[in-house]
Amino acid sequence: MHRRQFIQASGSCSAYVFGLAAFAPLMTRRVFAAQDDSNVVATELWGRLEKIQDGVWALISTPFAKPNPDGSPPDNPFGDYTTVCNGGIIAGDKGVLVVEAFMQDAGARWMSDRAKQLTGKRPTDVVCTHYHRDHTAGHAGFAVDKNRPNIWLTDATQKAAETSMLESGSVDAKFTQVKRLNSANPTEIDLGNRKVKVMPRSGHTSSDVTIELVDPKVIWCGDLFFNGMFPNYSDAIPSNLNDYASELANTKDTTFVPGHGPVAGLDAVQSYQKFLAFVQDSTTDAFKAGKPAEEAAKEFKLPDKLKEWFIWNPDVVKRGYVAWYRELEADKKDKRN
């Protein structure tokens, strides 16, 4: 990654700080390992495509820098940001949908090529779960020959993503062929023999969506779910995030594709719920004690039962405190008025 792209990435949850995982290679391997290698249909340095069922695949991105085989520090300390976020391919007999538009055009192009290879069709539809750059900035890569998929976005996602891409000097700051996702009610995308439900949510940002299939039961959670990693709270509404995690933790017999980290089952979602509750307790205690967020974040420590959770950069902890303080401060004001 060039220095300029590196700086551009830093504003969003794609964050340059993924590179810091170079200092935790063992942790990185654990957090990003495939549960079952036999499901993997394609592997690149920056990610792998896993088959969930016929016509349904999950892309698991592995943007962290990898150490050399001899264990020495990686040649490129910033990792590979071709895709950064997770995604997926859902095929029906009339259309093929790709989840997310990824960090770089090359990532979107790669997914378009995989869709063609696996289903015989280039994507007809793309859904972005929220506006962060690692989920949107690669959208132009889906334009291959004469193929231009519909790009499904909420109004808020389109506005924020285009502003952010424009500010970072992207030559493709405007989406083409946009289809509007309803931000109050579910939107159904018809792929023929498969219907995809897009649910409006909030918590990671003020305008998130999840992508849900009934057969098989799969939910692409976007960044409402970071599996095994401290979530990025930079634009979060933390109590909404907790509410959604509770909802997921009661959703049985489902495969969960997080925004970052490996494919998950119910146990991982329940662990996430506990992790978020611990963050809430820690931040609320510090807030009540009148400790400044930044200072309190430095003292944050995971209890033994949550030790496995990966803090990929000290900054993500600080962002968690800042987000909770923002909400707690607003609650206090509400009560006063």
- Size of the residue set binding Zn ion (CB under 5 A): 3
Shortest Cβ 206–Zn ion spacing (Å) = 12
Chain centroid offset of residue 326 CA: 22
Task: Kindly tell me which of 32 and 287 has the beta carbon lying closer to Zn ion.
Answer: 32
Task: Kindly tell me which of 143 and 248 has the beta carbon lying closer to Zn ion.
Answer: 248
Q: Does 160 bind Zn ion (CB under 5 A)?
A: no
Q: Does 201 bind Zn ion (CB under 5 A)?
A: no
Helix H or strand E segment including 275:
helix 266-288
Number of residues assigned to the chain? 337
Q: Does 245 bind Zn ion (CB under 5 A)?
A: no
Mention every residue, 6+ apart, whose C-beta is less than 8 A from residue 156: 131, 183, 206, 207
Task: Kindly tell me which of 43 and 242 has the beta carbon lying closer to Zn ion.
Answer: 242
Which residue, 211, 216, 189, is CA-closest to 199?
A: 211
Mention every residue, 6+ apart, whose C-beta is less than 8 A from residue 267: none
How far apart CA 86 and CA 102 sit, in angstroms, is 8
Shortest Cβ 204–Zn ion spacing (Å) = 6
Shortest Cβ 326–Zn ion spacing (Å) = 17
State phi, psi for 118 to the nearest 5 degrees: -85, -30
Region from 16-24, 28-36, 217-225, 309-317 binding Zn ion, contact rule CB under 5 A: 217-225
How far apart CA 233 and CA 313 sit, in angstroms, is 13
Residue whose pair of structure tokens reads 């599996």 in the numeric block: 227
Of 9-68, binders to Zn ion (CB under 5 A) are 13
Which residue, 84, 17, 14, 88, is CA-closest to 57?
A: 88
Q: Does 223 bind Zn ion (CB under 5 A)?
A: yes
Site string for Zn ion, 113-142 (x = CB under 5 A): -------------------x----------
Task: Kindly tell me which of 132 and 194 has the beta carbon lying closer to Zn ion.
Answer: 132
Region from 8-16, 60-68, 137-145, 272-280 binding Zn ion, contact rule CB under 5 A: 8-16
Q: For binding to Zn ion (CB under 5 A), which residues are involved?
A: 13, 132, 223
